[in-house]
Amino acid sequence: SQQGEEDPQALSIQEGENATMNCSYKTSINNLQWYRQNSGRGLVHLILIRSNEREKHSGRLRVTLDTSKKSSSLLITASRAADTASYFCATDAGETSGSRLTFGEGTQLTVNP
């Protein structure tokens, strides 16, 4: 069963705007990861944030993690048409679960040129 829930399910913005996607989860985690998937393709890892971290940056990406609320957000700044894709959060509960990833249902982001 899916642990994560992404919000919104779909997001449409104009090029240059910022896009924010949220993820909530239910159990304790070791880390939380964000992945991107273009239509019909495999997943590309974007960023990993550990349970003892609160914020992380990578290029135009900013991820926050609030373990007390069991939630995370992904911010993409200055979006581009090429950012159009599905974005998934995935939680890693650690070695007790073999570090398998539990994915949410994803947010479909459309960036209009």
Partner 1 sequence: DTGVSQDPRHKITKRGQNVTFRCDPISEHNRLYWYRQTLGQGPEFLTYFQNEAQLEKSRLLSDRFSAERPKGSFSTLEIQRTEQGDSAMYLCASSPSSGEDEQYFGPGTRLTVT
Contact between 32 and 21 (Cβ < 8 Å): no
| Amino acid at position 71, single letter | S
Cβ at position 54, least distance to partner 1 in Å: 17
Pairing status of strand 85-92 against strand 31-37: antiparallel
Cβ at position 20, least distance to partner 1 in Å: 19
Separation between Cα atoms, residue 48 and residue 28, nearest integer Å: 16
Q: What is the 3-state secondary structure (H, E, C) of 62-78?
A: EEEEECCCCEEEEEECC
Cβ at position 43, least distance to partner 1 in Å: 4
Q: Which residues bind partner 1 (CB under 8 A)?
A: 2, 4, 30-31, 33, 35, 40-45, 48, 50, 88, 90, 92, 94-95, 97-106
In the complex with partner 1, which residue's Cβ is closer, 18 or 99?
A: 99
In the complex with partner 1, which residue's Cβ is closer, 39 or 113?
A: 39
